Structure 1
Amino acid sequence: MTYHLAGDSTVAPMKPQESPMSGWGQFLQAHIDAPVRNLAFGGATTESFLSSGNWTELLSEVSMGDIVIIQFGHNDQKQPELAARSGYTDRLRRMVADVHEQGALAVLCTSCERRWFDDAGQLIPTHGDYPNAVRDLAHELDSPLIDLTAFTSWLYEDLGEVESTRLLSHFAPGEAAAWPDGLTDNTHFRVEGAERIAAYVARSLRAIERQGGDQPAKGSQVVS
């Protein structure tokens, strides 16, 4: 059995020239016993992942019993044709169907939340209707769901506005060679954050598998 990852920069492998910025997919292998193929890439939408050929490449090595983990939304929400209840979910629906045709299991993920706090120290939701659209699609398709919007929102709020910066790409001048003048990025993880999310995804996958999610369309499993 193999885990296959489709997603955007919050999932994608670390680029050496951007270290220690990384997506959580970089660290999933450390928390599970099966191989991981990570085809996620920065800037990806559901449409560009399909049109670039990455989806075809991913499917080419998907076998019966494998698990395909799908997380998009960050970049889809910037494109009107990929609205939450139309182009975005249309493409996710196609991806789930393609995975099931291979005899594999598709697991949908909501987007990792951005770390944006208001003046009162409350986290600001930034993905609009996209997380709810994925939740509803998972229910419609009886597809397992890992709610990373809910988890990361809780995580940032639990750590607090100051401590949660340790998970994101906040680099002081001279701290990271890629950004000699420093960086404040509240979307992309540094290693510490990517590892934390990967550990949660692995735990969620184990829960899905224990609950009988090892067959396509077995029943919606929400892990949050």
Structure 2
Amino acid sequence: MLAEGGFFMSVVPPIRNLLRSQQQSGPASPVHVMDSGGRRRFSSRMRNSAVFSRRAILSLLGAILVLPLQAGDERPIEKDGPKEKAASNTLPTLWIAGDSTLKTNAPQRGWGQDLGTFFDPKKINVVNRAIGGRSSRNFFTEGRWKEIENALKPGDFVIIQFGHNDVGPLDARGKFRGSVKGIGEETEKVTKPDGSVEEVHSYGWYLREMARTAREKKAKVILCSPVPHKKFNREGKFVRDWAEWRGWVESCAKAEKAAYVDLAEIIATGYDKLDQATVEGFFADKGTHTNAEGSLFNAKAVITGLRAIPTSPLDPFLNEKGKVIR
């Protein structure tokens, strides 16, 4: 792939220079001796040719500029690998549902891959079922939530965090994973490549449905706002995002009597205490996926959020490393 802006920087200047040269020089001068009528006809043809050339170039430039807008979502959808399972059927299990910001492949790393290091394996299982490229919508429609739901038992916990892949278009441009924005009951119908029609629900609908079915299995549910992207202003201050989405997650948690962890804000508050270079060192890409150091930072932020929940239901299962985090 070309570096960001590389293609445009290589194509636009020559086109711009050509347009300028046409403006400055005008039509080419005739070299043959002609009568006045011939000169008028020739000059007219040359003017038309120049106009056509300019229009063709502008049309080409317009097409080039539109290409990125028409291009599909390039974020990958990871294929299934071995799925984690509970080590003991007699212990409660903490299930994790989410996207690649919770579980991915090296050199990237998600916080769900480090969360278990803060719990006592003799007291609780930690099972990370997050997978890259999933939104609340396709995690649900692919049956991944159903697998967790079927495995839930009374006394289990489930942490749910989606959003990064919900933001895209609902159709093929977003790889059929975008959800209807908001938390309402509105739906939109999308036709799949095989001709089937999917009724797409809102982001909030999928979160509520997961929370509702988990509670029906007597499990405790924790909904998390999405982890923030890496973004700084000119003064080097960290810029928060997900403002609207954080509110949506909180509303869903209240509606379904689930716990809410504002992970986006907890992490951002932590970033505020660090310099820009340190925070940038937490990321393995432009600004979404963390590396091993960043995932550990985020996992600690999750523990901070879990311990702040009224009654702190997961506190009894923390190991010594987890107990020192506030």
Determine if the TM-score, normalized by the shorter chain, exceeds 0.5.
yes
- Which structure has more RCO (C-alpha within 8 Å, separation ≥ 6)? 1
CA contact under 8 A between 2:266 and 2:305: conserved in structure 1? no
In the TM superposition, residue 200 of structure 1 has moved relative to its aligned partner by 2.5
Correspondence for 1:24 among 111, 135, 139: 111
Q: Cα–Cα, structure 1 residues 120 and 70, in superposed 2: closer, same or farther, change >3 Å?
A: same
Count of matched residue positions in the alignment of Structure 1 and Structure 2:
197
Match of 2:294 in 1: 193
Correspondence for 1:125 among 237, 240, 257: 240
TM-score, normalisation: structure 1: 0.80
SS at match of 1:208: coil
Q: Distance in 1 between matches of 2:243 and 2:300?
A: 26
Q: When you count strand as a share of all residues, which structure comes out higher?
A: 1
Q: Distance in 1 between matches of 2:310 and 2:128?
A: 20
Q: Cα–Cα, structure 1 residues 185 and 92, in superposed 2: closer, same or farther, change >3 Å?
A: same
Match of 1:205 in 2: 306
Structure 2 matches for 1:3-42, cutoff 5 A? Answer: 3-12=94-103, 14-15=104-105, 19-33=106-120, 34-42=124-132
In the TM superposition, residue 145 of structure 1 has moved relative to its aligned partner by 0.9
Q: Cα–Cα, structure 1 residues 191 and 213, in superposed 2: closer, same or farther, change >3 Å?
A: closer
Q: Distance in 2 between matches of 1:5 and 1:198?
A: 12
The more displaced of 141-150 and 94-103 is: 141-150
Match of 1:2 in 2: 93
Q: Distance in 2 between matches of 1:51 and 1:157?
A: 37
Matched, 1:155 2:245: no
Q: Cα–Cα, structure 1 residues 126 and 206, in superposed 2: closer, same or farther, change >3 Å?
A: closer
CA contact under 8 A between 1:27 and 1:195: conserved in structure 2? yes
Q: Distance in 1 between matches of 2:314 and 2:293?
A: 29
Matched, 1:71 2:161: yes
SS at match of 1:106: strand
Measured against aligned partners, the alpha-carbon deviations of 1:89-119 in whole angstroms (never above 9, x if no partner) come to 0110100001011110110000000011122
Match of 1:178 in 2: none
Measured against aligned partners, the alpha-carbon deviations of 1:61-96 in whole angstroms (never above 9, x if no partner) come to 111010000000111122364303330001101000
Q: Distance in 2 between matches of 1:54 and 1:114?
A: 25
Measured against aligned partners, the alpha-carbon deviations of 1:134-186 in whole angstroms (never above 9, x if no partner) come to 112222333111111101211222212211112111xxxxxxxxxxxxxx421
Counterpart of 1:28, as a letter, is L
Q: Distance in 2 between matches of 1:47 and 1:73?
A: 10
Q: Percent identity?
A: 30
Task: Could you tell me which runs of 5 or more consecutive residues in structure 2 were left unpaired when the two chains were aligned.
Answer: 1-91, 171-178, 185-201, 316-325
The more displaced of 200-209 and 186-195 is: 200-209
